Amino acid sequence: MSTATLHPMTEHPMPGPGARPGPAPRPMPGGRPTPQWWRDAAGAFTWLTMLVVVALWVRNGGIQELATVGGGLMSLGRLLGLVASQLLLVQVLLMARIPFVERSYGQDELARRHRLVGFWSFNLMVAHLLLTWFGYAVQTRQGLWGTIVDLVANYPGILLAVAAVVALTMVTVTSIKVSRSALRYESWHLLHLYAYLGVGLAVPHQLWSGQDFVGNRPATVFWWTLYAAALGSVLVWRVGVPIARTLRHRLLVAEVRPEGRDATTVVVTGRDLDRLPAAAGQFFQWRFLDAPGASRAHPYSLSAAPDGRSLRITAAHLGDGSSALAQLTPGARVMIEGPYGRLHGGVRTRRKVLLIGAGIGITPMRALLEELPQAPGDVTLVYRAHAQDDVLFADELLALAGQRGARIFTVLGGRATSRESWLPGSAAHLSDTDALRHLVPDLADHDVYICGGPRWMDLVREAALAGGVPERNIHLERFAY
């Protein structure tokens, strides 16, 4: 090995002048470019449906009802309730694993938008309840508590709507960062499923008591279509497709081996895997059916490019699920959901690529190094690890670099304590951006793929932006829930 100018960043040697890179792997379907209009279409759908909701409210006399105090409160409350319902269904669609939405946004951004839309929907729902309650109280003069009793006792579907509010409140409270961090992932995920119950319980209230439903054919058609789209998307993409793919490909564990000091690699084989639209950099939700905890799915990235014959994952022992991988036995049946994620070659827009991973985040980077079409010098891989013993795939990475003509750096050492940095403490005298430019002088001309801990990825992203890389050319994926 030859040591770069900047210690402790070590560049591993390129093949000699007479060596030629090996042939590029056959591109798999998942590596196709992702059209920009897919993303635009998904965003336009959200705003268009909200515009229709407001238009239907106006058509149904919503503005005229603002003339009186009671009528105005109820009309405004009705509008907020309709928008809350629309956002709730958009929230379901965001996480329904619709392929073109998934490939356009990636799980990282979808999860953030899902969270933001969810809080807005909940807040508008609370405002809808309060405004409707006060509006009825003003009109009926029964008082606040008398109005509640009258609504629950005499209006069909209201009691179910109250149950829906309880379910959605539980989901929202457990989604707040403090509450979420106190729960195991499995517990949080189970509670989160009550959101579907809340959506279902809210439907009768709208159909039986909603002024914008009763006797209003355009509104009825619109809302039934939106509900059907949400339900159909969940049933097709979150239930039907995973079951169909599992049955078709008949996946079985073929090999289990330790990887490094504290990780496990699992190789899975099956039928017709060349027809599975997976690409390097993507991940699946995995269930190992013959092992404990089979009811819980875990997200693991592919650690090797799909070759049409097998799938390979590598996971660090960070929890019960990943630690249990070491106990798997060959022949165990496997169920998959996916492929998911936007960290694939389809989002690449430039010839030059920087792959930068930390810890177990090297797994999708290793797969991308193997699959990305490249000429010698096009791809640089930077691997951040705590110590040499923590480096995974050392021999494989060197072999791939020789075949593909890539440059590889390892960046070793404990984290910096003097400031937040993606660098180790021994290199903290450099700025984060200067360090990237030292490794990749023409940084601004690269697509940058990042995978590692959430805060570490943020720091690398900020350094890349400061180094002149446009936002659209930075690709990352978070797995934190």
In the chain, domain spans: 2-30+344-476, 35-241, 247-340
Report the C-alpha gap between 100 and 123 in whole angstroms.
29
pLDDT value at position 96?
Answer: 87
The kind and range of the H/E element at 311 are strand 310-316
DSSP 275: G
Q: Which CATH number fits domain 247-340: 3.40.190.10, 3.90.110.10, 2.40.30.10, 3.30.930.10?
A: 2.40.30.10
pLDDT value at position 252?
Answer: 96
- Name the CATH architecture for the domain at 35-241: Up-down Bundle (1.20)
pLDDT value at position 180?
Answer: 62
How wide is the angle at C-alpha 287 spanned by C-alphas 457 and 370, nearest 5°?
Answer: 50
Report the C-alpha gap between 436 and 463 in whole angstroms.
7
pLDDT value at position 37?
Answer: 78
How wide is the angle at C-alpha 391 spanned by C-alphas 390 and 396, nearest 5°?
Answer: 150
pLDDT, tens digit only, all 481 positions of the chain:
333 333 455 565 544 433 344 444 343 334 566 677 778 888 889 899 999 999 988 888 888 888 888 888 888 988 998 898 899 889 889 888 888 888 778 777 888 888 888 888 888 888 888 888 788 787 777 777 777 777 766 766 676 777 777 777 777 777 776 666 666 666 666 666 667 677 676 766 666 666 666 667 888 888 889 989 999 999 999 899 999 999 999 999 999 999 988 899 999 999 999 999 899 999 999 999 877 767 778 889 999 999 999 999 999 988 777 888 989 999 999 999 989 888 899 889 899 999 999 999 999 999 999 999 999 999 999 999 988 888 999 999 999 999 989 999 999 998 888 889 999 988 888 899 999 999 999 999 999 999 999 899 999 999 999 999 999 999 988 765 4
How wide is the angle at C-alpha 300 spanned by C-alphas 297 and 301, nearest 5°?
Answer: 145
Residues 6+ apart with CB under 8 A from 34: 103, 104, 342, 346, 347
2-30+344-476 has CATH 3.30.1200.10 classification:
no
Q: Look up residue 310 and give its amino acid.
A: S
